[in-house]
């Protein structure tokens, strides 16, 4: 992953596509919101410490008693800073941000599938079935197609990322990622799984799907800002590339993005 281009994570407003599918628009809107939240928390912690330092200096300068000055300075040095608290909560914070980014990416894939199925209903094979009772609930063929598409997307949403990649390739001839990118994204998805279901403790499922060292079984998967930085960049690149390919190959409608700054 060291070879992956990493943008300045402190800026959630790095260049994004100007046009794309509705699925991509929703992805990038959420992508920027998540990054903005992290940026705000980091900025807030820094501001709190700066304000506290200014107040402390003012108290020291306004105090004439040397003994009280020493006591104030001692209390200041022993006081836990906001950045220290944020550093202590690093793991939890990064887990929350990572989980949200992975969920956003998986949601993009599901939404793109829905767009393809509804705009190109011929991609729904004849094997896709619907009960007669459900069929009679619909007034138009478009409603039927949408219902089948929703069912298909729902069933695929429980698939692993590697299975989704295989489905996109087999059904549409679309690559959602290079083999290297897919490996990185799959690992991030597995980290999401152990974060949500196992308090980020490495289990046998994580080991079997990522090939990590068996000695790590039962240990917490530690996260660092540098890793999150790279994942955020990769997910954005994956969506930009797939969306470009999908709109061309599947002849999907492009819309112009108007993301708030």
Q: What is the pLDDT of residues 199-222, one digit of tens each?
A: 999 999 999 999 999 999 999 999
- pLDDT, position 138: 63
Residue-wise pLDDT tens digits, 31-66: 999 999 999 999 999 999 999 889 888 888 888 888
Residue-wise pLDDT tens digits, 162-171: 989 999 999 9
Q: Does position 253 have pLDDT exceeding 50, yes or no? A: yes
Beta bridge partners of 19: 256
Taking residues 98-115, what's their average pLDDT?
94
Residue 2 pLDDT class (50, 70, 90 cuts): very low
Give the residue with greater pLDDT, 69 vs 247.
247
Residue-wise pLDDT tens digits, 111-153: 999 999 989 988 886 555 666 566 557 667 677 777 778 888 8
- pLDDT, position 55: 87
> Which residues contact residue 85 at a Cβ distance below 8 angstroms, ignoring those fewer than 6 apart?
45
- Kindly state the tokens that stand for 72: 């104030």
Residue-wise pLDDT tens digits, 21-37: 999 999 999 999 999 99
Q: Are 23 and 243 in contact (CB under 8 A)?
A: yes
Q: How far is CA 186 from CA 95, 110, 177, 193, in A?
A: 16, 16, 11, 10
- pLDDT, position 143: 76
Residue 260 pLDDT class (50, 70, 90 cuts): low
């Amino acid at each position: 992953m060291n070879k992956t281009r990493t943008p300045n994570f402190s800026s959630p407003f790095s260049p994004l596509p100007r046009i794309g599918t509705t699925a991509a628009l929703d992805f990038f809107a959420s992508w920027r919101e998540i990054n903005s939240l992290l940026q705000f928390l980091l900025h807030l912690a820094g501001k709190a410490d700066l304000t506290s330092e200014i107040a402390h200096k003012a108290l020291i300068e306004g105090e004439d008693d040397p003994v009280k000055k020493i006591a104030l300075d001692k209390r200041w040095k022993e006081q836990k800073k906001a950045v220290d608290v944020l550093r202590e909560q690093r793991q939890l914070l990064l887990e929350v941000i990572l989980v949200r980014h992975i969920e956003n990416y998986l949601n993009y894939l599901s939404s793109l599938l829905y767009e393809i199925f509804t705009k190109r209903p011929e991609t729904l094979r004849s094997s896709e079935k619907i009960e007669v009772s459900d069929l009679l609930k619909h007034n138009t063929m478009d409603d039927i197609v949408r219902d089948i598409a929703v069912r298909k997307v729902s069933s695929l949403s429980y698939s692993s990322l590697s299975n989704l990649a295989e489905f996109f390739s087999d059904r549409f001839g679309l690559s959602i990622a290079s083999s290297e990118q897919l490996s990185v994204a799959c690992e991030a998805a597995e980290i999401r799984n152990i974060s949500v279901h196992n308090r980020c403790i490495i289990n046998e499922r994580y080991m079997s799907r990522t090939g990590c060292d068996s000695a790590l079984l039962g240990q917490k998967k530690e996260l660092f800002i540098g890793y999150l930085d790279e994942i955020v960049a990769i997910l954005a690149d994956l969506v930009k590339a797939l969306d470009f390919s999908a709109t061309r190959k599947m002849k999907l409608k492009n819309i112009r993005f108007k993301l708030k700054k």
